[in-house]
A and B are shown apart, each in its own frame.
Chain A
Amino acid sequence: MSFRTRWRKFVNVFMLSLTGLCALVTVSILFFILGYLLWYGGKSLNWAFFTHLPTPVGETGGGMANAIVGSGKLLLLASLVGVPVGILGGVYLAEFGGQTFSFVVRYTTDLLNGVPSIVMGIFAYTIIVLPMHHFSALAGGLALGVMMIPIAVRTTEESLRSVPGTLREGALALGTSKWKTVATVVMPAAMRGIVTGVMLTLARVAGETAPLLFTAFSNRFWSSGWNQPIASLPVMIYTYAIAPYDDWHRQAWAAGLVLLALVLVANIGARLLVSRGISFGKA
Chain B
Amino acid sequence: MASAPTTVDHVRPPGRTWEFIKRLRRGDEVAHLITLLAAASIIVVTVMLVYQLYTNSTLPRHKFGFSFFLGKTWDPVSGEFGALPFIFGTVVSSALALLVAVPLGVGAAIFLSELAPPRISNVTTFVIELLAAVPSVIYGLLGIFILVPVLRKGVMPFLKTTLGFLPFFQGPIYGVSMLAGGLVLAVMIVPFIISVSREVLMAVPVEQREAALAMGATKWESTWQVVVPFARVGIMASVFLALARALGETMAVTMVIGNDPRISASLFAPGYTIAAVIANEFTEATGDLYLEALIELGLVLFLLTILINGLARLVIIATTQKGAAQG
Interface positions of A (Cβ within 8 A of B): 8-9, 11-12, 15-16, 18-23, 25-27, 29-30, 32-33, 36-37, 40, 84-85, 87-89, 91-93, 95-98, 101-102, 104-105, 108-112, 114-123, 125-127, 130, 146, 149, 153, 177-180, 182-183, 203-204, 206-210, 213-214, 217, 234, 237-238, 241-242, 249, 252-253, 256, 259-260, 263-264, 267-268, 271
Contacts and interface: CB of A to CB of B under 8 A. Distances in A.
B71 interface: no
Interface stretch (B158-166, B229-237, B297-305): B297-305
Closest 3 pairs between A and B when the two form their complex, measured CB to CB = A207-B135, A116-B248, A22-B107
B250 A117 contact: yes
B19 interface: no
B146 A149 contact: no
Contact of B128 (A20, A27, A85, A213): A27
A26 B128 contact: yes
Interface string B17-53: 0000001001110111011111111110110110011
A153 B146 contact: no
B142 interface: yes
B107 A18 contact: yes
Interface in B299-320: 301-302, 305-306, 309, 313
A264 B130 contact: yes
Contact of B42 (A9, A109, A208): A109
A36 B146 contact: yes
A263 B133 contact: yes
B45 A146 contact: yes
A16 B219 contact: yes
A89 B43 CA distance: 11
A261 to B, nearest CB: 11
The interface residues of chain B, by DSSP majority, are classed as: helix
B194 to A, nearest CB: 7
Interface of B: 1, 23, 26-28, 30-32, 34-43, 45-46, 48-49, 52-53, 56, 103-108, 110-112, 114-116, 124, 126-131, 133-142, 144-146, 187, 190-191, 194, 218-221, 224, 244, 247-251, 255, 275, 278-279, 282-283, 294-295, 298, 301-302, 305-306, 309, 313
Given A32-B142, A89-B41, 15 more contacts: A11-B220, A26-B131, A29-B187, A30-B130, A85-B41, A88-B34, A96-B1, A122-B52, A122-B295, A123-B53, A179-B26, A179-B30, A182-B31, A204-B133, A256-B138
Contacts of B28: 177-179
Contacts of A91: 35, 38
